[in-house]
Structures are given as structure tokens and as C-alpha cells.
Amino acid sequence: MNEIGFLSLLVSFFCSVAAAVTARKNITLARASIILSGISSAISVFILGFLFLNNDYSNQYVWQFSSKEMDPFYKFAAIWGGMDGSMLLWAAIQGIGASIVARDIFRFPKNLANNTLLFLAISNIFFLGMTLFLTNPFQYIKSEIIPLDGNGLNPLLQNPFMAIHPPIMYFGLTWFAIPASIAFAALISPTKEWYQYCRAWTLLAWGFLTAGKVLGGYWAYIELGWGGFWAWDPVENASFIPWLTGTALLHSVMVEERKGMLKLWNIWLALATYSLTVFGTFLTRSGVVQSVHAFASTDIGWVFLLYLGLYLSVALFFTFRVKHTPDRHIESFISREAIFLLNNLILLGIAFATLWGVLFPVFSEWFTGQKQTVGIPYFNAVNVPLFLLMLFFMGVGPLVSWRHTTLAQLRKQFLAPIITAFIVGLMLVWAGVPGFYPILSYSLCVFVFLTIIKELHRRKKEPASFLRTLGAHTVHLGVLLATIGITASMAHKIERDFVLSEGQSYSVGRFQFTLKELTAVRSSSFEELQAVTEIVDTKSGDIIAIRKPASRFYYKKKENTSEVSILKLLKGDVYLVMAGLDDSGTKAAMKVFINPLQSLLWIGTGVMIFGLFVILSQRAYSQRT
């Protein structure tokens, strides 16, 4: 089977090469090759999955990341448990995306079609080539005897959210190759309204990336026992930066659509977003920066840089060589296009500051000889104010119309929302909510919410585009919910450590925790010590819940993990960690986090994805008719 998997990968690679060679001469042939390449790479993923499900330890990769006692679901998920398989999956998901574009390629104008196929093929070739020549997962184990059992997957990764998080991320990250390929094609042969061929793809990729990032955060939250969901780790930032530029792209193509402006800007945003996804892959696999995720310093990183350098140099060359029709001028700074542009710049500012933070160890070593690193305080200090500024303009956007709004009109539109937001802010101060940024954040959310309602009310009269507007504003409502969740859980988090013997209690805020008993539980793959804890609401005296956070020991990997228990209440989460026993073995060391309104982040993301579906369904509808 190893050979078949490898062969299918090889076929996929050469099909993409064939597509690149024929793209500019024979579209039909190139189209067929791209589709075949996508199918073939998907087949090799399934063959690897088959090897995993069959416990075929003659394969080095399968042996390394799987073992017999694992659940079939996790055996399959182990495909992307390591570098080789994750590269294969990356290449395959990109290949499938390219196939779907190729299927509809005849809808494209001819010049755009052949260059789009060319750049899709180039992207495919790069990732398939990497997988094939540098990280081939179809290798025989380097041992005379085939082992009876595998090495096993890291227990932390054996969680349903972790299992589905990487593929969803890859759909998001790799599908940004599609807008980039179309943008590159439009750069070489200027096409009017090129963005209409890639807007749906940009939205899809953005949606997957959003969902993937939040799923990853949710996994970290429920699995890692530190009570948080985001730590500005290089790996998180590596996909956050393209998310930011992708968000900017989604908005600025609307300016091009409405006003015929920002054409080159949009093309370059699409190229930059794709390049940043590739750069992120480089960061996480080169060992250039240190991270919680122990990415070893493999040599493959530099190949990514070489590819990026070439890709962007060619793009730069065509930017200066090809004559584009000049943009139309911006007429007024009190116009929607100006606000969009401003928010584009803020998003890029956040992306730039984040990238700077990630690469700070590299730069500081270059300039001062001493490697330095920045962490959470830096990212929060720079990005929080920028984000709040963006939130403000997110509210201003709907208040101003395209082209021009007079100051008088603006004042009229502005007054009610801004006064209400101000009053809410004052009330929060009066209620004793601490901190300037949190209060500003809540007030801005109220302001944006009111402007969205105003806009929806006004747009009701245009039924043709109402659903699309509704979808877009639903995404924004999701952003507001998530913002409130993030603000509250970060700013008003309570964290306490305590030690309890059986029967003892500890109070935090209005909650009282009583350790009822310590019980040992054994299973085939682990044993765990559960701290059966009763949670009482001291105000009403009711027992809210009995929870069993545990400290778990996996036999096979000889690893300790803590199994947290999270009580989700409307007002927030009560997050309990059992951190082990004291030396006498009778007292449980525990940790509790109280994260106000934490669930709003997850709910808000759901609302964002729902809004995206509404927009996409409208696009599909308008394309059919």
C-alpha cells in the first residue's frame, strides 16, 4: 500500500506539472490535469488513512503517530498528527480547491482562465513537491522487524476539537491560494471585475480560517488547563496574520466593486494573504522562532522562503510592467469607501505589529546581537487599541454612504448611537466595572450594534440586496458578541489556587467549592484521580453542580495531563483544574478560573459563520439567475 500511496502522490504531482506546462496553450487539457491532480492527491490521503486504520506499522509515519488501542477516529485523525501527513493533507486540500475552480474555469474570460490555471498549478506543484521529496509520509520503517504496536498519538491531541481543527484550518489557509491565483492572473492580464471570480472563495477560505482558529482556541481552553484560549503564541499568530489581511481583502474588494478603485491594492492583498499563509507554514516548521509547540529546526523551512521570494518577485515584476487603468479618485473622506480604506489600514497595522512581534527575536538578534522575545503584554499593548479603533470605524461604516456624506447628515446619523454608547459607558463606570479599555470596548459594541440596527432598518426598503446586507451585518453582530466575550473573559478573569482535604471548602466570589471525595478511576489506556467537587451558590445556597476534574496518567506515553471540568453558566464559566496531590496524598491541589461571559466568544463565532452562510447562499442564488 505504501507504494500505491506514493504512486498516487507522484501522479498528482506530475498532473500539476502537466497543467502548468499546458495552461497557456490548451485550457481543456490543463483543466483536466488540475482536476486529476486534486483527485489523485485526495486518494493518497485516503490511502494513508487506510494504513492508519489497518495498523500498518511497516509505515514509519503510521508507527510514529498511532497505536493499536486508539479509537479509529483518532487513528484517522493521526494522519495530520505529524509533519509529513499534515503536509500531504495541506497539498491535497489545496488540490481539491484547485480542482473545483478548474471545473468552472470556462466561466472565466480566456486570459484570466489560463493564467489562473497556471498559478493554481504552480501552488500545487510547490506543496506536492515538498510532500513528495522532503516529507514523504509513505516510507517504510527503518527496522528489520515490523513492530507489533505503534508509538501512539500525544494524548493532548486525542480530543475531538483538536482532531478536526487542523483540517478546517487547512481549508482556510490553502484556499487563499485561489484568490491569489486569480489575482496573479489579473495582474498579468488586466481583467475588469476579476474579483467577482474569487469573492466566494475568499469568503469561504475566511470562514474556514475563522472557524479553525476558534476551534483551536476552544481546544486549548478545554484541554490545556490554563483557563485561556489565546496566548499570542507564534503558531497562533502565524495564521492570525493572514486572517487579518484576508479580512481586509473581503472589505476592500467591495470598494472595487462599487467604485472601481483600489484594484492593485486588492490584487496585492490577495497575494499577500496567500504569501502569509505560506510564510506561516515556514515559521511553524523552520524553528526560526521558539514556541510552545516544539517545532524542530527542520531544513525544509528555507525552501518555503525561496518559493515565496520567487513568487513575490515575479508579482512585483508584473506590477510594474503591465499597464493598469488608473484608479478612480476618492471623492470625500466622509464616505464609505474612505472608512473601508481606513479599516483596511488598521487591519494591516495589526497584522504588521503582530508580524513584528513574532519576528522580534530574529530582528533583535540582527540589530543588537542579543536575541530578545516579546510576549502577551506586547501584543495586547499594541493590538488592543488598534482593534478598538477598528471597532469604532466598523460602526461608522454603515452610517455614511458611498461617495459622500455631508457633515450635517453624519451628525444626524451619529448622534443617537454615540450618545447611547456614552451613557452605557458611564453606567458601567458607575456600576464599578474596572478598566478603561474594557469599558471602551463594551461602549463601542453598543455603538456598533445601534448603527447596524439603523442600517438594517434603512435597507429594508431594498429587498433585492437585503439578505446579503443582513448576512454581512450578522457577521458583524457575531464579531460584537465575540468581542464582548473576549473582553469580559480577559479583563474580569478571576484565578485562584487552593488545597483541599476531603470535606473542606473554599470560596471564590459567590461560589463555594467543597471537595467531597477523591476517587481513582482506571481504564485500559489511563488511570485518573478525580476530585469530586460540589459547587454551591452562596447567595441562594443551592448546589449548582457536582464536578469531577481529574489528574490523568497515560500508561503508554507515561504522561500526566489534567482533565479540566468547566461549568458553563449564562454569566460565565467556572473552570476547575485538579492539579495533583500533596506529598501526604490526601489533599488535592486545585485551581479555579472564573471567566465571565466566556461562552459569548464561541456563540459569536457561530453567529459569524451563520452570517457567512447567508451571504454565500445569496451569492449562489444571484449566480444561478
Partner 1 sequence: MSKVFLALVLGMLAIVTVAMFLSTKDKANAVLIVNDLDGDKERIRIGGKVSNKDITYDVEPEFSLKFYVEDKLTPAKSVPVVYKGIKPDMFDAGREVLIDGDFKDGTLFATQLLTQCPSKYEPPE
CA proximity to 410, closest of 330, 338, 474: 338
Task: Identify the CA nearest to 475 among candidates 100, 224, 155, 207.
Answer: 207
CA distance 147 to 68: 11
- 157 lines the binding site for partner 1 (CB under 8 A): yes
Is residue 506 a contact point for partner 1 (CB under 8 A)? no
The answer to whether 245 touches 273, Cβ cutoff 8 Å, is: yes
Give me the least distance between CB of 389 and partner 1, in Å please: 10
Count of chain residues binding partner 1 (CB under 8 A): 72
Q: Which of 591, 600, 601, 608 binds partner 1 (CB under 8 A)?
A: 591
Residues 560-579 that bind partner 1 (CB under 8 A): 560-562, 577, 579
Residue among 55, 82, 433, 525 that touches partner 1 (CB under 8 A):
82
The interface region with partner 1, picked from 61-69, 115-123, 315-323, 435-443 by CB under 8 A, is: 61-69
Return the number of other C-beta atoms located less than 10 Å from residue 93's C-beta. Answer: 26
Between 46 and 378, CB nearer to partner 1: 378
User: Any contact of residue 352 with partner 1 (CB under 8 A)?
Assistant: yes
Q: Which of residues 124-143 bind partner 1 (CB under 8 A)?
A: 139
How many angstroms separate the CA atoms of 422 and 446, rounded? 9
**Residue among 148, 296, 407, 520 that touches partner 1 (CB under 8 A):** 296
- Please give the backbone phi and psi of residue 362, each rounded to the nearest 5 degrees, phi first: -70, -50
Q: Which three cell numbers stand for residue 137?
A: 509520509
Under the binding rule (CB under 8 A), the answer on residue 64 touching partner 1 is yes
By CB under 8 A, residue 589 contacts partner 1: yes
Instruction: Indicate the residue among 120 and 157 with the shorter CB distance to partner 1.
Output: 157
The answer to whether residue 527 forms part of the interface with partner 1 (CB under 8 A) is no
Non-local (6+) Cβ contacts of 311 within 8 A are: 122, 271, 275, 278
Q: Which is nearer to partner 1, 341 or 490 (CB)?
A: 341
- The footprint of partner 1 on residues 205-224 (CB under 8 A) is 224
Instruction: Give the whole-angstrom CA distance, residue 255 versus residue 341.
Output: 8
> Rounded to whole angstroms, how far apart are CA atoms 434 and 560?
37
Give the interface segment with partner 1, choosing from 119-127, 151-159, 187-195, 470-478 (CB under 8 A). Answer: 151-159
Residues 310-349 that bind partner 1 (CB under 8 A): 327-330, 341-342, 345-346, 348-349
Between 252 and 618, CB nearer to partner 1: 252
SS (H, E, C) 157-212: HCCHHHHHHHHHHHHHHHHCHHHHHHHHHHHHCCCCCHHHHCHHHHHHHHHHHHHH
Does position 583 interact with partner 1 (CB under 8 A)? The reply is: yes
Site string for partner 1, 365-404 (x = CB under 8 A): -----xxxxxx-xx--xx--xx------------------
Nearer residue to partner 1 within complex by CB, 64 or 451? 64
Q: Look at residues 302, 318, 171, 192 and name the one whose alpha carbon lies nearest to residue 246.
A: 171
CA 549 – CA 396 distance, rounded (Å): 46
The binder of partner 1 chosen from 314, 353, 467, 616 (CB under 8 A): 353
Lookup: cell for 625: 439567475
Residue 34 has which C-alpha cell?
488540475
CB of 313 to partner 1, least distance (A): 22
